[in-house]
């Protein structure tokens, strides 16, 4: 049953919830927009503090919220802007560690409940890892409630001193257009896209994500050697941009690998529909967008058993250890010719996706936390 907040009684102002975005990753930005739509529909007054570039993509004002441009900086002027934006807030909800820290600073001296959602975790080592731990501890202890999008993030928040940490899975917002399925209609468009990518008469594998070290693309390229000997050799398409673009391309060229780096793409649903398999080789993920999109699109998935991935996909994907190129290659090579196994994964994926919270259920859970923290308003 969904939680539907009643309009504020006559003479009482509606709850004012301020959402604060930091860097505005795709997952957290889409979540804030979805929350804004749902909360506004339930009579909550919503303000979104986010950089202008995030608003240009996600149109927070169009969701029923008020958008206030606040840059992703921790300088005194930006913190002061955030403090002013939160002046009459009943509750503030920050998304991500940096947003949580800036919001905690902005709320210093005020008795305003702070909720922080941990969507992901920083990938750091050495001295930077120590700094990240200090940041996590500061944010965890400042929040009235920490919401973790996966169980390991909840455990991490608790280990950093969170007073109250809870699991709060973030749903994949409904697409603005129907998502094609790999085994459904639209065969003509699928064939055309495969032709454009160069995969008409050979299997097509898809990986999506920023070209960064923690994404595991080095291990993925190691695994490509195993299936490049197949006839025909599968083509791996990697969609994304990042600092490792030149290094990865150099490896592809030097080793003659059947891999195409296609950069950042706006047509990932179409790429998925054209693919035979999706591959997620990351060192860590919470609720990976690619995993959710693949299961929704009925595309078999091979992924690393890290972070929140196992609880997200259940038995609906082939899971392998991170960093094990042989296991990754074996899973792909074993799945490609096994239509029965791939069909079973498609069906399991559909069933698993049906267990994920809907947007309405996600909004209801968050609103129940808001109600709990602002309960005196109802007395």
77-114 tens-digit pLDDT: 999 999 999 999 999 999 999 999 999 999 999 999 99
Rounded CA-CA distance 23/99 in Å is: 8
Give the helix/strand (H/E) hosting 79: helix 76-85
| Residue 2 counted as domain residue | no
* Mean pLDDT value across residues 47-75: 91
Read off φ and ψ for residue 199, nearest 5 degrees: -130, 45
How far from 2 is each of 38, 361, 363, CA to CA, in Å?
11, 6, 9
Q: What is the pLDDT of residues 295-353, one digit of tens each?
A: 999 999 999 999 999 999 999 999 999 999 999 999 999 999 999 999 999 999 999 99
* pLDDT for residue 27: 79
| Residue 10 counted as domain residue | no
Q: 166 and 29 in one domain?
A: yes
Q: 70 and 57 in one domain?
A: yes
Least confident among 28-42, 120-134, 155-169, 327-341: 120-134
* pLDDT for residue 24: 57
Q: Is the pLDDT of residue 55 over 50?
A: yes
Residue 74: which pLDDT band, with cuts at 50, 70 and 90?
confident
Within its chain, how far is the Cα of 266 from the centroid?
Answer: 16
Q: For the purposes of burial, counting CB atoms within 10 Å of the CB of 17, is it exposed (0-12), middle (13-18) or buried (19 or more)?
A: buried
Q: 127 and 31 in one domain?
A: yes
| Residue 326 counted as domain residue | yes
Sign of CA dihedral 244, 295, 25, 107: negative
| Residue 75 counted as domain residue | yes
Name the domain count of the chain. Answer: 2
Domain residues for 291? 187-353
User: 289: Cβ–Cβ under 8 A, 6 or more apart, which residues?
Assistant: 26, 27, 172, 208
Q: 309 and 202 in one domain?
A: yes
Q: 203 and 163 in one domain?
A: no
* Average pLDDT value over all residues in the chain: 91
Residue 11 is classified by DSSP as T
Q: 167 and 91 in one domain?
A: yes
| Residue 7 counted as domain residue | no
What CATH number should be reported for the domain holding residue 31? 3.40.50.2000
Q: 131 and 115 in one domain?
A: yes
| Residue 76 counted as domain residue | yes
Residue 23: which pLDDT band, with cuts at 50, 70 and 90?
low
Q: 327 and 252 in one domain?
A: yes
Read off φ and ψ for residue 179, nearest 5 degrees: -85, 125
Give the closest residue to 270 by CA, choosing from 174, 181, 372, 138: 181
User: How many residues are present in the chain?
Assistant: 379
């Amino acid at each position: 049953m969904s939680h539907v907040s009643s309009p504020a009684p006559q003479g009482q102002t509606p709850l004012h919830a301020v959402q604060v975005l930091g860097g505005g990753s795709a997952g957290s930005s889409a979540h804030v927009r979805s929350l804004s739509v749902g909360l506004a529909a339930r009579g909550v007054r919503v303000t979104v503090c986010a950089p202008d570039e995030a608003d240009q993509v996600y149109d927070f004002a169009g969701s029923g919220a008020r958008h206030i441009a606040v840059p992703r900086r921790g300088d005194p002027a930006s913190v002061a802007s955030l403090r002013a934006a939160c002046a009459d807030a009943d509750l503030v909800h920050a998304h991500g560690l940096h947003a949580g820290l800036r919001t905690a600073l902005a709320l210093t001296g005020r008795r305003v409940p702070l909720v922080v959602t941990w969507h992901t975790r920083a990938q750091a080592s050495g001295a930077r890892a120590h700094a990240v731990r200090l940041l996590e501890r500061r944010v965890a202890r400042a929040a009235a409630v920490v919401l973790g999008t996966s169980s390991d993030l909840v455990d991490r928040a608790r280990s950093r001193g969170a007073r109250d940490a809870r699991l709060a899975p973030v749903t994949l917002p409904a697409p603005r257009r129907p998502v094609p399925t790999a085994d459904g209609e639209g065969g003509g468009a699928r064939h055309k896209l495969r032709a454009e990518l160069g995969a008409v008469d050979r299997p097509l594998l898809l990986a999506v994500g920023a070209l960064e070290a923690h994404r595991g693309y080095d291990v993925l390229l190691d695994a490509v050697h195993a299936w490049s000997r197949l006839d025909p050799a599968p083509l791996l398409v990697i969609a994304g941009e990042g600092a490792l673009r030149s290094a990865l391309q150099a490896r592809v060229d030097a080793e003659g690998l059947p891999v195409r780096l296609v950069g950042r793409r706006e047509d990932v649903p179409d790429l998925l529909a054209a693919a035979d398999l999706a591959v997620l080789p990351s060192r860590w993920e919470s609720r990976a967008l690619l995993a959710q999109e693949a299961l929704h699109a009925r595309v078999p998935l091979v992924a690393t058993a890290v972070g929140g991935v196992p609880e997200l996909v259940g038995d609906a994907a082939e899971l392998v250890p991170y960093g094990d190129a042989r296991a990754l290659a074996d899973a792909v090579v074993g799945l490609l010719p096994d239509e029965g196994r791939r069909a079973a994964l498609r069906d399991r994926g559909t069933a698993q996706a049906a267990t994920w919270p809907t947007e309405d259920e996600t909004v209801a859970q968050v609103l129940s936390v808001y109600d709990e923290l602002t309960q005196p308003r109802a007395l």
